[in-house]
Structure 1
Amino acid sequence: MIARLALATALVCAATPIAAQETDAEDSYIWLEEIQGERALEQVDEWNAEAEAVLTAQPEYPIAKAWAKQILDDTRQIAMPSAIYGDMVTNLWRDADNPRGIWRIASLESYRAGNPEWRTLIDVDQLGRDEGESYVWHGANCLAPEYTRCLVSISPGGTDADVVREFDLTTGTFVEGGFTLPQAKSNVAWFDEDTLFVGTDEGEGSLTDSGYPRLVKVWKRGTDFADATQIAEGEQADVSISGFSVLDGNTRWRFVNRSPSFWTNEYSLVKDDGTLVGLPFTNDMVFESVLDGQVIARLNSVAASSAGWSAPAGALVAFDLNDIAAGKKPTPTVVFRPSESQAVEGVATSETKLWVKVLDDVSGKLIEITPGAQGWTQRDIDLPANSTIQIAQTSGKGDTAFVTVESMLSPPTLYAVSSDGTPSAIASEPAQFDPSKFEVEQKFATSKDGTKVPYYLLRPKGVAGPLPTLIHAYGGFRAAQTPKYLTAEPYRSGPLGLFWLESGNAYVLANIRGGGEYGPRWHEEALREKRQNSFDDLHAVADDLVAQDLTTPGRIAASGRSNGGVLVGAVANQRPDLYGAIISGSPLIDMRRYNKLLAGASWIAEYGNPDVPEDWAFMRAWSPYQNMQPDPDYPAVFYYLSTLDDRVHPGHARKAAAKLEQFGQTFYFHEYREGGHSVGADHEEDAKRAAMLLAFLNREIGSESETE
């Protein structure tokens, strides 16, 4: 980590020409892509030590870390339902005594009454100790309607690759001689009680270029996996292929989904004899659920037929599965049409209802939809306005949806929403701060092409500004950024936003294009050659804040993680005059090589293919790594990531840090050895990161720091 004072020397002595590094041979830092390489890890250790020496010595660090840990370990948190299995509910509970969590079960009746009587199923920490592994919980899939057998996924170190084991819910033990799969990026689901859909790493030819399964097999209990029957396969260039089943009343419908790209799918119905019948979806439709013998899909482009049927992009439509199984091509019916300001963000089913979470100018709404002889009828559920709503779970029997409601200043409340009554609050998280000290408002900035871009601004009440300001954004993959309680973790860093506000500063959540805030169009306007729109949107938000005298250039930090790493890396290069600090978590940065690193090939439909000259022509204009230049105004950067991230390669952040070191510019680097793409494997790491990031922001753009 080298300060800006060394910049002049670096400009003279740089070992690699600044304009180079268009090819692998010209990349002086490609050796940092060797994930467990001795030289690479020595460099990581050196950077980690330098960052910790500076940031943990800041006076606010120990206070912030202790406060973050207290918030994250608070035993008054809502025990969110992981799943509802008939008349039982499961939950994964993490606290100071159980950092990796305990998977537990209680009766649904006691849970709804607000006094669940839990029985531990798996103690993840103890399992790891018993087996000498550092396990991270990745979920369970229990077979309906009996819910006695489950497929449990655990990950050594937190990578995307899981170990899968069969578990007996009634005895609370792993099934001796049951289904098991070694660590891999597997696609596994129940076919029936004695059969699985499986796609996994079987060696050469079994995985796609993206590193995910290319084959779907049906594996019978008591047989060797080598004898499993293959029922479908994808192409080598596909993203993935998988099998899954859905229980609709007493009928189990089975499907295979082949994904040629990240945004295209080919769904097929699997008949009892194992043959496949294609669903009449366009390739950009998204499978949502099955209800009353109909498969529900979400459109991502306008659909129309010569018979006069049509539906807008973002709508939900339904197709009759019995007709499809019989070889017919049914005409779909429209289930829900969003308005121009709306986007469907979540869909779930209960026994006879479809529950739809809608964003309306980024505020949440919950809609209950019922199929009937006269079509689909809907009613809006009466929940607090101007909030973020999440469908946590729905009941398989009966019609109850469990939803959380929160805002930036109001902690989450869990409601049980029944179709035959009003919503009932069954649990609430305690307030972690005094909301009367702050104010929040939604504003709209005007982007370069005239598009209105919404953003939420929080600041201390009655303080006009200008204030140091932290802007968080994402801008990709249809992922909407909704306003959540300030102790939530948009950075995978716990309550950083709260700490920043409590220090007298401002926090902004920007809803830039590339996300799903306004449905498919909002995403498509930042795809591939249109990616610059998302960067322009963030610049517009920052410029709008400056124009209103709410902040000043150089006192603005831009934060993003994963895809957000492309975002903040690009805006730092394009407007170093505007941003004083950058937070870049698990970032994508080198877009010339991203498709060759881990799961990168799966995102070509989002960004473009750098190996195609026409694509690289537009990607080259914004790829963060290729556009990094020594600049005395370049913002200070904090990179945080995980060695075991097997989704976004750690080489991206490592190589970017090496360039900044070469240029003599200020950066901080912290790479955790565990945690996978989520970075933090437990609350201790999350609390440490939140405190280090606060110290970084205070040091670089805080009220007491010096602008340069």
Structure 2
Amino acid sequence: MRGTFLNSLMMAMALATVTTMTASAQPQMTTVAKAIDSNPSKTPKGAADPRDYLNEIDGDKAMNWVKARNLSTLNRLSKDPRYREYQADILKILQATDRIASPRFMHGGMFDNYSFMHGSIFDSLWQDGTHVQGLWRRTAWESYMSGNPQWRTILDIDALSKAEGKTWVFEDADCMPPANNLCLIHLSDGGKDAHVVREFDVTKGQFVKDGFVLPEGKQSVSWVDENTIYVTREWTPGDVTASGYAYVTKVLKRGQSLDQAVEIFRGDKKDVSAERGVLRDIDGNYVMDTSHRGLDSSNIEQAFYPNGHTDTHKVVLPLPTTATFGGYYKGQAIYRLKSDWTSAKGTAFHNGAIITFDLKAALADPASVEPFVLFMPSEHQSVERITQTKNRLVLSILSNVISEVRSFDFSNGGWSSFKLALPENSTLSMTSRDNDSDQLFAFSQGFLEPLTLFRADAASGKVEKIRSAPERFDAEGLQVKQFLATSKDGTKVPYFLVARKDVKLDGTSPTILSAYGGFGIPMLPNYLPALGKLWLEKGGAYALANIRGGGEFGPKWHEAALKTHRQRAYDDFQAVAQDLIARKITSTPHLGIMGSSNGGLLMGVQLTERPDLWNAVVIQVPLLDMVNFTHMAAGASWQGEYGNPEDPVEGAFLRSISPYHNVRAGVAYPEPFFETSTTDDRVGPVHARKMAALFEDMGLPFYYYENIEGGHAAAANLQERARRDALEFIYMSQKLMDNK
């Protein structure tokens, strides 16, 4: 397998020159930034970038820089006597064979860890110490329920990787309903968003000879019929949106080469992405074609083609472009409103509402659309997910960041519903549902409660516990509490605290604070074995902040931190930190923060805005250059969230919060830990590279680790995850625990 840790380490050791960071491994905040001419905060717009060479992802100079810093970080952290123990402990947990293999219904059997929803498969494979890249497996219902399922391997990703000299990551599969025997398998080399597509016969357990094959690219596919697919990809080099996504869909027939495909739909180059696809009912029957154009990260033009595959006449319903299509159930279109809307008849509908209406009637007369409000969340609620079984519509709802599941039925022109009797005060996730019945599977979990699998009947309401996963860390003496912090503008911000019941209120508890705060994504209490084993079990505390920008309380909570209002999310996070300190749970010498992606941006902002609040900062796969992010990887697609750097007002705000542009001379910064992946083609490694290089140029200590593989997840397999977890928690332990 290429790109392994050992190979990366050997290549790094072979470098002629290795830069050694001079910072001590012990906690300190004494080093201050020196003034340099190449600080981007002082560099005139359009001037040469002294760190431009790091933009070349696989360039020799850039990779030599990466390998040298990787080696320095590994040398420093792996020498800690706890490192091997931490890595072994978490790897044992990750590779444990007594994990619950998530059951996913599919056409007469169940597949391990994959759910077939209208021809699509989601989640990850079964991975363990032997099957590093994973197995796609199948078993019968009776076998699974026996507690000792006999799995049949459908596809061995390790064997495929070895045979082809790749590090294949099985990302997805689109299967042709209703039989679901023919699947278009999405394989990523190293975990990138870009992937190849190959047709696979799950009955025979082999790739289809002369079947559909698409070369690597950021692409999407939809089955039209057994011999026809819609393909959206970069047909001509450079013919992608500014975000790097495809916007042209063509029809490809079985046996045709790509150059024989016929264009059927074209979005706009200014879109984030665009594609044409197929809407099917719960039985897998064709209903009509659809298309969407992603105008930005918050707005979509959804269109319907009621006259069949070949028709180009489209109907766009008079709904706000922020409304998202949530499903097709018994002839009803299900939509989620993310902004207020008034219908043609003058009826006001509020953001957060789940609305329904007869789709075909609406397409015949769009002006007549007058929806029914299926569910209207309160100010403390939001709808997390919409799905359906054979006869029921199912909503996952958050109430004060706690989950509940409601089952809805549409009959005789009206709706009725009831709440499923799943565990209270826990995080619930619907892991699979059956198109052929009303059965669904759900996981329940909490910070201190490991996964428990339930089977529920969405029609009768019957709930049955199937099994629970073993505890992976000692939770004895730990408790979870929910508090409210007051943000700068008076907004009450909830957060969870996991700590010992007898925690000393003297400010000395080593505490990790995390959050996300973007894209309407809620942060929920989950069972985190690495955190539990390597941190909580050893006396550390953990806080999870539900700051604005997330989806905990619906669209308003998200929109409150959009674009030039994003400082609210950063103020919320700081308010939670200050509340923890005011309660004397912790103090700056013992307080660390951690977050990834948009959460990595959050951590970068906290590093530069409030360096006095933290003693450890882990910044994972982050955005950090908010002046140039639209020209980096898929950054242009997030202007709806962050704003446009070219806009005078939005651009000025983005520069004011951009971590890369706000490192100041004479300031004492905590020593951060930057993490990223070479193959991350979503956010990209350049943000972390340049920020770390800037710290180096300004004489500031830092840690840096760039996993060669792994994509935006920064890990392509369990071994890489264990190494990353061990490095992170050694860093946190040194900074926050060892300084008592």
Confirm or deny a common fold (TM above 0.5): yes
Where 2:656 maps in the other structure, the secondary structure is coil
1:401 aligned to 2:435?
no
Distance in 1 between the 2:483 and 2:137 partners?
A: 43
Distance in 2 between the 1:161 and 1:695 partners?
A: 33
Distance in 2 between the 1:148 and 1:383 partners?
A: 33
Partner of 2:13: none
1:496 and 1:691 in contact (8 A); partners too: no
Where 2:613 maps in the other structure, the secondary structure is coil
Distance in 2 between the 1:196 and 1:341 partners?
A: 43
User: Structure 1 residues 102, 505: closer, same or farther in 2, change over 3 A?
Assistant: same
1:44 CA displacement: 0.8
Partner of 1:363: 402
1:70 CA displacement: 0.4
Amino acid at match of 1:415: F
Partner of 1:122: 155
1:335 aligned to 2:368?
no
Amino acid at match of 1:395: D
Where 2:127 maps in the other structure, the secondary structure is strand
1:224 CA displacement: 2.6
* Residue of 320, 323, 339 corresponding to 1:285: 323
Partner of 2:472: 432
1:339 CA displacement: 1.5
Amino acid at match of 2:61: R
1:107 aligned to 2:119?
no
1:90 CA displacement: 1.2
Partner of 1:50: 72
1:38 aligned to 2:78?
no
Partner of 2:390: 351
Distance in 1 between the 2:322 and 2:522 partners?
A: 18
2:591 and 2:616 in contact (8 A); partners too: yes
Partner of 2:670: 635
2:234 and 2:248 in contact (8 A); partners too: no
* Residue of 499, 508, 517 corresponding to 2:552: 517
Partner of 2:334: 296
Where 1:74 maps in the other structure, the secondary structure is coil
1:477 aligned to 2:516?
no
Partner of 2:223: 190
Where 1:625 maps in the other structure, the secondary structure is helix
TM-score (structure 2 length as normaliser): 0.91
1:615 CA displacement: 1.4
Partner of 1:175: 208
1:422 CA displacement: 1.8
Q: CA RMSD in A?
A: 1.9
Task: Tell me the alpha carbon deviations over residues 217-242 of structure 1, each in whole angstroms, 9 at most, x when there is no partner.
Answer: 22222223323232221111111012
Amino acid at match of 2:526: K
User: Structure 1 residues 308, 258: closer, same or farther in 2, change over 3 A?
Assistant: same
Where 1:436 maps in the other structure, the secondary structure is coil
1:11 aligned to 2:31?
no
* Residue of 588, 607, 613 corresponding to 1:572: 607
Partner of 1:320: 358
1:69 aligned to 2:104?
no
User: Structure 1 residues 9, 435: closer, same or farther in 2, change over 3 A?
Assistant: closer
Partner of 2:82: 60
1:212 CA displacement: 0.7
Partner of 2:495: 455
1:22 CA displacement: 5.0
1:444 and 1:455 in contact (8 A); partners too: yes
User: Structure 1 residues 651, 17: closer, same or farther in 2, change over 3 A?
Assistant: closer
1:200 aligned to 2:233?
yes
1:3 CA displacement: 2.1
Gaps of 5+ in 1: 488-494
Task: Tell me the alpha carbon deviations over residues 562-595 of structure 1, each in whole angstroms, 9 at most, x when there is no partner.
Answer: 1112111111111111111111010100111110
Distance in 2 between the 1:696 and 1:8 partners?
A: 18
1:217 aligned to 2:217?
no
Distance in 2 between the 1:209 and 1:60 partners?
A: 46
User: Structure 1 residues 279, 592: closer, same or farther in 2, change over 3 A?
Assistant: same
User: Structure 1 residues 618, 17: closer, same or farther in 2, change over 3 A?
Assistant: closer
Amino acid at match of 1:483: P
Distance in 2 between the 1:19 and 1:292 partners?
A: 57
1:307 aligned to 2:345?
yes
Partner of 1:415: 454
User: Structure 1 residues 327, 19: closer, same or farther in 2, change over 3 A?
Assistant: closer
Where 2:657 maps in the other structure, the secondary structure is coil
User: Structure 1 residues 24, 385: closer, same or farther in 2, change over 3 A?
Assistant: farther
1:112 and 1:416 in contact (8 A); partners too: no
Task: Tell me the alpha carbon deviations over residues 21-70 of structure 1, each in whole angstroms, 9 at most, x when there is no partner.
Answer: 35352532122111111111111111111111110011211111000000
* Aligned ranges 1:248-267 → 2 under 5 Å: 248-250=281-283, 251-253=285-287, 254-267=289-302
1:537 aligned to 2:537?
no
2:484 and 2:494 in contact (8 A); partners too: yes
User: Structure 1 residues 649, 95: closer, same or farther in 2, change over 3 A?
Assistant: same
User: Structure 1 residues 599, 187: closer, same or farther in 2, change over 3 A?
Assistant: same
Partner of 1:492: none
Partner of 2:481: 441
Where 1:178 maps in the other structure, the secondary structure is coil
Distance in 1 between the 2:611 and 2:331 partners?
A: 56
Amino acid at match of 1:685: E
Where 2:303 maps in the other structure, the secondary structure is strand
Task: Tell me the alpha carbon deviations over residues 75-106 of structure 1, each in whole angstroms, 9 at most, x when there is no partner.
Answer: 1111113x422322212211111111101112
2:96 and 2:128 in contact (8 A); partners too: yes
* Residue of 400, 412, 426 corresponding to 1:387: 426
* Aligned ranges 1:592-631 → 2 under 5 Å: 592-631=627-666
Partner of 1:274: 311
* Aligned ranges 1:657-696 → 2 under 5 Å: 657-696=692-731
Amino acid at match of 1:211: G
Amino acid at match of 2:514: H
User: Structure 1 residues 632, 570: closer, same or farther in 2, change over 3 A?
Assistant: same
1:705 aligned to 2:725?
no
* Aligned ranges 1:18-29 → 2 under 5 Å: 19-29=41-51
Task: Report the count of equivalent residues.
Answer: 696
Distance in 1 between the 2:667 and 2:31 partners?
A: 9
Task: Tell me the alpha carbon deviations over residues 604-625 of structure 1, each in whole angstroms, 9 at most, x when there is no partner.
Answer: 1111111222211111111111
1:264 and 1:283 in contact (8 A); partners too: yes
* Aligned ranges 1:86-101 → 2 under 5 Å: 86-91=107-112, 92-101=125-134
Amino acid at match of 1:11: K
Distance in 2 between the 1:353 and 1:22 partners?
A: 59
1:159 and 1:677 in contact (8 A); partners too: yes
TM-score (structure 1 length as normaliser): 0.95
Amino acid at match of 1:283: T
1:391 and 1:403 in contact (8 A); partners too: yes
**326-335 or 425-434, larger mean C-alpha shift:** 326-335
Distance in 2 between the 1:339 and 1:325 partners?
A: 31
Percent identity, aligned pairs only, is: 39
Distance in 2 between the 1:317 and 1:9 partners?
A: 55
User: Structure 1 residues 497, 661: closer, same or farther in 2, change over 3 A?
Assistant: farther
1:2 aligned to 2:40?
no
User: Structure 1 residues 10, 333: closer, same or farther in 2, change over 3 A?
Assistant: closer
Distance in 1 between the 2:405 and 2:356 partners?
A: 19
